């Protein structure tokens, strides 16, 4: 697949995650939508790294992003099953999105 297509799907999935974040604890459809967008973002991130030619020597910033994506998914699941955690987990997920964006843009 083309780099631009991976990037477009990646950005759209992140946008979808942001829009569905508020409703995760409220209804099942928002949770399922968030998880679909989360999986799409995770899969397309590997496609982007591969399109950049970095798949053989996986950089540290990409490893860090991968682990942060996993933490984000775990927090979303925690929000669904423990609605009392919604405000805390939403704040952490928002912070993780900022950190992930920093890592993607600056590639330290």
Task: Please name which of 34, 65, 70, 67 lies closest in space to residue 48, comparing C-alpha atoms.
Answer: 65
pLDDT band at 25 (very low <50, low <70, confident <90, very high): low
pLDDT band at 2 (very low <50, low <70, confident <90, very high): confident
pTM higher than 0.85 for the full model? no
Mean of the per-residue pLDDT values for the chain? 86
Task: Please name which of 93, 107, 108 lies closest in space to residue 45, comparing C-alpha atoms.
Answer: 107
pLDDT at residue 17, rounded to an integer: 86
Q: Residue ranges per domain, the chain? A: 3-106
16 to 21, 37, 50, 76, 94: CA distances (angstroms): 8, 6, 23, 14, 13
pLDDT tens digit string along 29-82? 888 898 899 999 989 988 888 888 877 787 888 889 889 989 988 988 888 888
């Amino acid at each position: 697949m083309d780099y631009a297509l991976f990037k477009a799907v990646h950005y759209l999935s992140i946008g979808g995650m942001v829009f569905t974040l508020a409703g995760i604890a409220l209804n099942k459809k928002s949770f399922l939508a968030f998880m679909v967008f989360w999986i799409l973002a995770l899969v397309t991130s590997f496609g982007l790294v591969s399109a950049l030619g970095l798949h053989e020597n996986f950089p540290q910033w990409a490893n860090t992003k991968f682990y942060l994506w996993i933490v984000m998914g775990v927090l979303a699941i925690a929000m669904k099953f423990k609605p009392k955690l919604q405000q805390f987990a939403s704040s952490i997920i928002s912070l993780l999105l900022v950190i992930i964006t920093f890592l993607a843009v600056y590639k330290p």
